[in-house]
């Protein structure tokens, strides 16, 4: 097997450098009680690009991702130190409401989790509770089109979201997320429960969505990171089982000429 995953040639480095930073982590430590789960994360996420977080199990990929829209707040005893700046504003400041954060920074989960409601209501609900006043039918159609699901479901919008296949359910979850009109979409291993064909559809969709949204994706599939992302952050489990960022760089660069030997060991398959 080829050592270096195939690269498809998007994400030109110059383009990447000119993109403005939308989210920046500065000295972020994440604790679960006394346990330090992630140490000193520093990361600049470029706008309208796809940033992949890769690394072995236990390296804190999901933990770090979830700190970007304060989903970790839901875990009792979870605590974040340092700053996560969204357009220069610290998401962990006193006056910031996590509910408002999650409206701006949406999330797609590992296992597709549509609501046990109709396809239409799945998409409409989030917009409705966030006070969307426009034409709901139009928003639902636009969101489903953006998620490349419209043609498959347009004749059965009233049937349950759970009646769809796994890949369709995941695209429904993406449509549901888009309908709230976030700026950033966090994806936590969105394809790990899907077959290869459904996975490729989601990857294509991510490329399309990156025109209008900033995407961060956690994946344990290096080929996926290589295929889809512009920027890759490699992390590993460091001292005291705490996750730490090893290397961040343009995807092409990180996969072809990694600077850190630990990155090289991981992407060539020697560890992890």
Partner 1 sequence: MRSATIRVDDAQLRRRKLLGTVMLGVFVAATLSALGVLAILVGDTIRDGAGWLDWNFIQDLPSRRPDRAGIWPALVGTIWIMILTAAFTFPVGVGAAIYLEEFGGRGRLSRIIEINISNLAGVPSIVYGLLGLAVFVELAGMGPSVLAGALTMTLLVLPVVIIASREAIRAVPDSLRQASLGLGATRLQTVWSHVLPAAMPGILTGTILALSRAIGETAPLIVVGAATYITFTPDGPGDRFTVLPMQIFDWISRPQADFHAIAAAGIIVLLILLLTMNLAAIMLRNYFRKNQNW
Q: Does residue number 25 form part of the binding site for partner 1 (CB under 8 A)?
A: no
Q: Does residue number 261 form part of the binding site for partner 1 (CB under 8 A)?
A: no
Q: Which of 36, 37, 173, 246 binds partner 1 (CB under 8 A)?
A: 173
Measured at the CA of 90, the angle between CA 248 and CA 75, to 5 degrees, comes to 80
Closest CA to 215 of 80, 30, 53: 53
Site string for partner 1, 144-163 (x = CB under 8 A): ----------------x-x-
Q: How far is the CB of 37 from partner 1 (least distance, A)?
A: 18
Q: How far is the CB of 192 from partner 1 (least distance, A)?
A: 14
Phi-psi group of 11: left, alpha or beta (phi > 0 → left; psi -120 to 50 → alpha; rest → beta) = left
Name the DSSP class of 213.
S
- Beta strands 21-32 and 78-86, pairing class: antiparallel
Partners of residue 106 on adjacent β-strands: 185
* Closer residue to partner 1, CB minimum distance, 129 or 271: 129
Q: Which of 39, 61, 171, 176 binds partner 1 (CB under 8 A)?
A: 176
Q: Which of 31, 109, 132, 150 binds partner 1 (CB under 8 A)?
A: 109
Q: Does residue number 76 form part of the binding site for partner 1 (CB under 8 A)?
A: yes
Q: Where are the beta strands (DSSP E) in the chain?
A: 21-32, 35-46, 50-54, 78-86, 89-90, 105-108, 184-188, 214-218, 231-237, 243-250
The string of DSSP codes covering 7-40 is ----S-HHHHHHSPEEEEEEEEEEEETTEEEEEE
Name the DSSP class of 83.
E
Measure CA 171 to chain center. Answer: 14
Closest CA to 23 of 71, 114, 116, 89: 89
Q: Does residue number 192 form part of the binding site for partner 1 (CB under 8 A)?
A: no
Structure tokens, 28 = 């972020």
Q: Which of 46, 106, 250, 258 binds partner 1 (CB under 8 A)?
A: 106
Q: How far is the CB of 66 from partner 1 (least distance, A)?
A: 10
Start-to-end CA distance of the chain, whole Å, equals: 16
Q: Does residue number 107 form part of the binding site for partner 1 (CB under 8 A)?
A: yes
Q: Which of 139, 180, 206, 248 binds partner 1 (CB under 8 A)?
A: 180
Q: Does residue number 3 form part of the binding site for partner 1 (CB under 8 A)?
A: no
Binding segment (CB under 8 A) for partner 1, from list 48-56, 100-108, 234-242, 257-265: 100-108
* Closer residue to partner 1, CB minimum distance, 65 or 245: 65
Binding segment (CB under 8 A) for partner 1, from list 28-36, 45-53, 113-121, 237-245: 113-121
- Beta strands 21-32 and 231-237, pairing class: unpaired
Q: How far is the CB of 174 from partner 1 (least distance, A)?
A: 12
Q: How far is the CB of 56 from partner 1 (least distance, A)?
A: 24
Q: How many residues does this entry show for the chain?
A: 272
Residues near partner 1 (CB under 8 A) are 69, 71, 74, 76, 99-100, 102-104, 106-107, 109, 111, 113-117, 125-126, 129-130, 160, 162, 173, 176-177, 180
């Amino acid at each position: 097997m080829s050592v270096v995953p195939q690269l498809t040639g998007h994400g030109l480095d110059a383009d990447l450098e000119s993109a403005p930073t939308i989210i920046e982590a500065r000295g972020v430590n994440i604790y679960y009680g006394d346990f330090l789960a992630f140490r000193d994360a520093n990361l600049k996420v470029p706008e309208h690009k796809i940033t992949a977080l890769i690394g072995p199990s236990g390296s804190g990929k999901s933990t770090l991702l979830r700190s970007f829209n304060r989903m970790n707040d839901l875990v009792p005893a979870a605590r974040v130190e340092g700053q996560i700046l969204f357009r220069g504003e610290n998401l962990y400041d006193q006056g910031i409401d996590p509910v408002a954060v999650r409206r701006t920074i949406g999330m797609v989960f590992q296992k597709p989790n549509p609501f046990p409601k109709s396809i239409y209501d799945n998409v409409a609900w989030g917009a409705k509770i966030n006070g969307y006043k426009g034409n709901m039918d139009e928003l639902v159609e636009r969101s489903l089109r953006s998620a490349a699901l419209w043609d498959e479901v347009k004749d059965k919008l009233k049937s349950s979201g759970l009646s769809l296949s796994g890949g369709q359910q995941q695209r429904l979850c993406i449509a549901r997320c888009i309908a709230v009109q976030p700026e950033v979409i966090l994806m936590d291993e969105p394809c790990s429960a899907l077959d290869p064909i459904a996975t490729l559809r989601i990857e294509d969709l991510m490329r399309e969505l990156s025109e209008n949204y900033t995407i961060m994706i956690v994946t344990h599939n290096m080929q996926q990171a290589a295929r889809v992302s512009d920027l890759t952050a490699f992390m590993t489990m460091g001292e005291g089982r705490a996750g730490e960022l090893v290397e961040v760089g343009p995807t092409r660069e990180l996969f072809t000429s990694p600077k850190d030997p630990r990155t090289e060991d991981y992407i060539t398959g020697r560890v992890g």
